[in-house]
A and B are shown apart, each in its own frame.
Chain A
Amino acid sequence: MKLDPKVPSGPLETKWSNYLRDVKLVSPNNKRKHKIIVVGTGLAGASAAASLAELGYNVQTFCITDSARRAHSIAAQGGINAAKNYQNDGDSVWRLFYDTIKGGDYRSRESNVYRLAENSNQIIDQAVAQGVPFGRDYGGLLDNRSFGGAQVSRTFYSRGQTGQQLLLGAYQAMMRMVHAGKIESYVRHEMLDLVVIDGKARGIITRDLVDGSINKWEADAVILCTGGYGNVFYLSTNAKNSNVTAAWRCHKRGAAFANPCFVQIHPTCIPVSGDYQSKLTLMSESLRNDGRVWVPRDPEDSRPPNEIPEEDRYYYLEERYPSFGNLVPRDVASRNAKLVTDDGMGVGDSGLAVYLDFRDAIKRDGKDAIKAKYGNLFDMYENITDDNPYEVPMRIFPAVHYTMGGLWVDYNLMSNIPGLFVAGEANFSDHGANRLGASALMQGLSDGYFIIPYTVGDYIAGEELPKVSKDHEAFDEAAKDSQEQLDKLLNVKGDKTVIEFHRELGKIMWDKVGISRSKEGLEQAIEEIRSLREEFWQNVRVPGDANYYNKYLEFAARVADYFELAELMALDALDRDESCGCHLRDEFQTEEGEAIRNDEKYAYVSAWEFLDVNGKLETKLHKEDLNFEFVELKQRSYK
């Protein structure tokens, strides 16, 4: 396997403009002869589909939900970054680039991140023109808010529903092209395999989730925009149907999977309340501006929080990080919550929570001021927990939120399989080992609106793409594989449900491949994942049939893929003998518990190749060295 990042030469500032100057074009007459498949209709998928269709290509979109508008991008709350410098506070493309690459702890490609920052301003223009109702000031101009990891105010927002509004903008652009006859949109369709012919991606296999039929679709290029894999942990802030299946099946057809162990764990989520818990709900990072995080100093202290006097409270973030206090980055806040609960100081019935207390802020600013800032979040919290956060401290705990890892792509956002492009959270490209807030929406739309339309054109213009038939044996084989796997799952007829297996897998992942990892724990995790996977295939019970709507069959196939991905994540974490961003290895930290990054040995992208050796899972690690020509690598410190 050869991994060529294909980064254009020259200064950082001109790489993308030079690329655009030289990009190969497809003439309007020829565009209509080409068919492009887009899988997933979140920010990346919907924006890519709309833009390609506007150019004249024939596009087919596929999504698992009942409408393209329901992709999980819709749940993003806070905002989207752009280097407009409307605040005149010194922002620039360079600064946005620098903050993002530093925030990612120097584990991403300079060229890609710089292009992301360059595209950011156009995204805002595009969204406003579509009618996305961003927050505005009294003069009617666009407003900004501040987010973590930056010293400027560059985040555009639509109250707490920025993802919803941006996604609806992209979805509407896409529906406009459906109306124009340039997009065929298939909903309730799940991609189960990639079809590779003569070494190129030439189509996909889907299952119609309503009638259960397995279908074949041919194309000149396939663009995967299927989101992240956080649900491997069972509990996460992802939607229930978010999954890795499409990406994983591409991996099994030869696409390298990069940095699988880079998982963002968000510090402020509502804690688990019982075994029945199906998902976790995020509480915006902004709460840490006014809330103070603490636990009782004495693990035996069972007094209600309001009766615990000041001297018996351990404000651990403020004590350990006096200069950043409660506003340390996400990875640091999450890790420290785990440390204090591991030491028995956690609160609530489960002991797996810490307090986020607004008492002092309410005393200082008044209840009304706090309500004006966080009213909707406080209501949401009360609705879920039945506790009133104006009266008692919130209980919060970290939860899996976003995956920086994903399929490996080059500068063109193309995987190592020619013709297979990967955009949005599904690729590994721009966030390194840690993503900053308000950067995911930016990346999804930069990829979809402003990169894919050029790079896919360049590919189509430069390749021989003879017509392929759906009768080709590669289609038959892939379709047969998909059907057989479903039948196999249904035929196990064991005793344990899919959800039970998934919950157990999630626990292994959370305990041993979660906030902090150790060599010993990871090795145990690999053993446990393997034996649970074996049990899954012998004892899972999947109800119903394959020939009609069957949600638990969908889940079963996705969990089967999680079992394989989980092992790769642990292997990747084991390979990386350093702590960087969200990846903390217990062995590589200072005495005070700070991460020790090792740039000499680990400034590379881990790209894993799937090898099926006599039916046994095998993997091979390839390394893409990260060369930093333009920024100086520094250790992050928040003390």
Chain B
Amino acid sequence: MSTMTINLKIWRQKNTEAKGEFQVYKLNDVNEHMSFLEMLDVLNENLIKEGKDPVEFDYDCREGICGSCNLVVNGRAHGPKRLTAVCQLHMRTYSDGDTIVIEPPRAAAFPVIKDLVVDRSAFDRIIEAGGYVSVKTGAAPEANLIPVQEEVANQAFDYATCIGCGACVAACPNSSASLFTASKLAHLNRLPQGKPEREKRTVAMVQQMEAEGFGDCSNYAECEAVCPVGISISSIAEMRKNYLKAIF
């Protein structure tokens, strides 16, 4: 088991209003089997022992499914490993003496709360605008009444796996939330249960996305490249098609 020394350059910001800055830390004895977030835990333990403020960052499940973690590592959302949330990244990816720059996802619609923690409530408001099927508890018909083609069900599932982390926004030069919004639309709009509200849903969610201050999509496809669950940008094309159909 090899250990290494890692140099860290981490964004520190006291609160939303404060001006932030990078601070440099040196961490010895980093074990290759540590996860990236465990490496930050160790840094924090050291900082607390030294009487300093630990680095705040969001995390919860540490299994890549809850979407809480959203660090931008050396300029890339979730770090260097494709299809991997930063909580599933391990230190064996790095070498002794490496310098790692860690920032929050930067977007006007994601204000910094503290250090690497940002406010992503804009995502909740996009879902609130129409990201659901309007069915009351108790009003559902028998589950097998409406068959869904296996292929359609599988596609819907692929889009439904979005974890809502916001990496797509962080990676987009326009800070667009198009991939997030389009993935939910592509999930619900193609299912028979979601079809009756397709147009209404599409317009409501797209307009909410704009109202939150996210930019528009210019087809850079950076979002798809960093998405930890591999959501396809075809969903964005589909969203635009449905949006245009709905408003004209």
Contact = CB atoms under 8 A, between A and B. Distances in A.
Contact of B61 (A74, A136, A173, A550): A74
A50 B194 CA distance: 18
Given A72-B66, A75-B65, A497 B48 contact: yes
Nearest to B161: A161
A210 B113 contact: yes
A341 B92 CA distance: 28
Contact of A126 (B51, B90, B137): B137
Contact of A47 (B67, B129, B137, B139): B137
Given A125-B143, A172-B132, A551 B63 contact: no
Give the interface residue-count category, chain B: 35 or more
A175 B127 CA distance: 7
B62 A133 contact: no
Contact of A239 (B66, B129, B188): B66
A126 B132 contact: no
Contact of B54 (A72, A126, A543): A543
Interface residues of A, number: 81
B193 A136 contact: no
B25 interface: no
Interface stretch (B36-44, B217-225, B232-240): B36-44
Interface in A84-142: 84, 86, 121-122, 124-131, 133-142
Contacts, number: 219
B56 A551 contact: yes
A378 interface: no
Interface string B22-33: 000000000111
Interface stretch (B4-12, B71-79, B147-155, B170-178): B147-155
A8 interface: no
Given A70-B68, A281-B63, A541 B132 contact: no
A314 interface: no
Given A129-B133, A133-B157, A552-B54, A66 B68 contact: yes
A574 B113 CA distance: 46
Interface string A152-186: 00000011010011001001110110110000010
Contacts of A164: 65, 161, 163
A82 to B, nearest CB: 9
Contacts of A130: 132-133, 135, 140, 193
Interface in A8-36: none
Contact of B34 (A50, A127, A274): A274
Contact of B60 (A172, A241, A385): A241
Contacts of B47: 543
A86 to B, nearest CB: 7
A272 B232 CA distance: 35
Which 5 residue pairs are nearest across A and B when measured between Cβ atoms? A140-B147, A129-B140, A172-B132, A133-B157, A125-B140
Interface of A: 47, 50-51, 54, 65-70, 72, 74-75, 84, 86, 121-122, 124-131, 133-142, 158-159, 161, 164-165, 168, 171-173, 175-176, 178-179, 185, 187, 210, 239-241, 273-274, 276-279, 281, 349, 380, 383-386, 449-450, 453, 497, 499-500, 541, 543-544, 548-552
Interface of B: 1, 15, 31-35, 37-39, 41-42, 44-45, 47-49, 51-54, 56, 58-63, 65-68, 84, 88, 90, 92, 113-114, 117, 119-121, 123-124, 127-144, 146-150, 153-154, 156-157, 160-161, 163-164, 187-188, 191, 193-194
Given A69-B164, A84-B144, 16 more contacts: A66-B121, A67-B164, A69-B67, A131-B133, A131-B187, A133-B187, A136-B150, A158-B157, A173-B137, A187-B121, A384-B90, A385-B33, A450-B138, A453-B137, A497-B45, A549-B15
